[in-house]
Amino acid sequence: MVFSSLFFVLLFLPLCLIFYYSMPSIGMKNIVLLVFSLIFYMWAGPTFILVMLADALICYFGALLIGRSEGQGKKKAFLIATVGSVLAILVYFKYTGFILSGVKAVTGFPEVIPQIILPIGISFYTFQLISYVADVYRGEVKVCRSFFTLLLYTALFYQCIAGPIVRYSTVSRELVRRRLTIDGMYKGMVRFCTGLAKKAVLANACASLADEFLAAQTLGHASSAAIIAGVFCYTLYIYLDFSAYSDMAIGMGLATGFHFPENFNYPYVSRSVTEFWRRWHISLSTFFRDYVYIPLGGNRVSVARHILNLFIVWFLTGLWHGASLNFALWGVYYFILLVIEKYIFEKHDGRLLHVIGHITTPLLIAIGWMLFRFTDMSQLLTAFKGIFTLNGNRLYDKATYLLLRSNVIILFISFIACMPLYKKCLGKVSSFYRNRGRADSITVIWNMIFSIFCLVISVMALIGDSYNPFLYFRF
């Protein structure tokens, strides 16, 4: 089950909200959320819930042991054991095939690589549980004495399979005590409907076009224009898809009294790669910063050690996105870009970076998305060569022109949706009416109309099109 399915939008979510709001206490509401969360998660495979329960139990008892221990040595030992255990589970399910493929390439053993099914969302909830245990060790949060509460934090269907990665410290109070308001319900549904349209209408359309332009069967003789158009469509799709699920998760959280952190902040307007990663998948970036980069020493070390720290962080960031060589290369690619920015451009002439940043950064990001898309290295090389017509392909073809022309409106709207233009315009309109004392009513009316419109066109799109890819299966 995914957020952008008719079953979820028209039945699962409404039923959850009806039962949720009919309960008289937070405790009863939490039971409703946990029951619906477990049903939602088991929809992809009933056995997967056992992995989540195992991780939650390990971290529950691990945190209890850390909290009860007096010596720092014991606390650290329990931390290492707990984090090591849940990471071992993650590595087994997500990276066994990748590791054994590398071993086989070198040694020829094993003959058969086991096909292990990846539990959906395991990377997200594993990182959430690690952050909880680490924060208990640091003394930044109190130990959760209720396994039920910790399981709800782990399994909450809003964000357990697609993020954002929510730290326990962010929602610990709201898990047991939160205020439900009409304003929160209204803002949450506006955010959810906006995210739904972003996914069902825009992201799916861009994904379909990207698949058509970059199809493996035709990639070898596709024109340069077709490949560039495909990369452009994929660049739009990857942001719209990721941010749409975050919008929907944040919206459902608001509607039920939770306040999840923002996960995307219009990253394609960035003037540098550093800025891009401050705006892109913010919860993941901050996780690696706080739980990997800073414990390694951050930038308060020698230049050589700092570069090593950056390499470790970005190599792991790449592998987190998928157990494949292309994702490791994608992480290393950003490591190289960030080292160049910090030690060449910023050190010698930071102004130059700002001058050329608006032009070069989007191009560098688009190249990165090519690494992200093509898991087959031969296809990646073919695509790169095709851009420069090194495959014996043409620079331009009429089919590409016709396909772009017939989809120019949806591509234009998708491009605008990746920019903060709508948000800025809405802010200016609100400021205009605020001076006349009517800002709240105008904004509420417009948001309600816009949300209903988004919901209607999303349902129409989902009814009329079976193409609804779910990028998060690899996580």
- Tell me the C-alpha distance between 147 and 55, whole Å: 12
Question: Catalytic site residue 281?
Answer: no
Residues, the chain:
475
Q: Is the peptide bond before 110 cis (omega within 30 degrees of 0)?
A: yes
- Tell me the C-alpha distance between 117 and 97, whole Å: 10
Tokens of 9: 């939008």
Using a 10 angstrom Cβ sphere, with 0-12 exposed, 13-18 middle and 19 or more buried, the burial of residue 178 is middle
DSSP 344: I
- Tell me the C-alpha distance between 446 and 448, whole Å: 5
The residue whose two tokens read 């359309």 is: 205
* Catalytic position from the list 259, 306, 321, 348: 321
Tokens of 61: 């008892």
Q: Are 330 and 200 in contact (CB under 8 A)?
A: no
Tokens of 464: 């009329």
Q: How far apart are the first and last CA of the chain?
A: 15
Q: Are 425 and 163 in contact (CB under 8 A)?
A: no
Which residues are catalytic, by number?
321
